[in-house]
Amino acid sequence: MISVMPLTALGWVLAVMLGTRRRRLAGCLLAWSEPGGALAWLLAHHPLGRMAAVTIGRCVLAASRPALRATWAHEAEHIRQFERFGLLFPLVYSLESLRCLLRGKSIYRDNCFEVAARQAESKTARQNVAGRSWSSSRV
């Protein structure tokens, strides 16, 4: 695991500056916006389209607590990706988006990191349906 501490610190600073509610879970900082909060507004007006949440290092910033619960499995995969690539992850992610763009594909939907996050999300959903004990209620 490559250190993602500087990026996590950046996420934490943003969470504080944007006036979010926060809690820690499994070594991660989870932050969410209150209705009408600055973070909710920023995620709703992102240049690439509305976002429910974004991960920066081991910090997940979400538009609301329900959005955080809904996206936790997806964002947890991004945390694993940050841990795998460390400080290079934003660059690697951007290069993958550029590769998709140059091939005429979606920079989000076809990005291999997003594909992996959606697969993790689907796997968690299947486990929930099968009655396994994963739950986002702790989020």
Q: Which of 2-6, 15-19, 42-46 has the lowest mean pLDDT?
A: 2-6
pTM for the predicted model, two decimal places: 0.88
> Nearest Cα to 42, choosing from 28, 56, 23?
56
Question: What three-state secondary structure class fits 54?
Answer: strand
CA distance 112 to 119: 10
Q: In the structure, what pLDDT confidence band is assigned to residue 134 with cuts at 50, 70 and 90?
A: very low
Phi then psi for residue 83, to 5 deg, are -65, -35
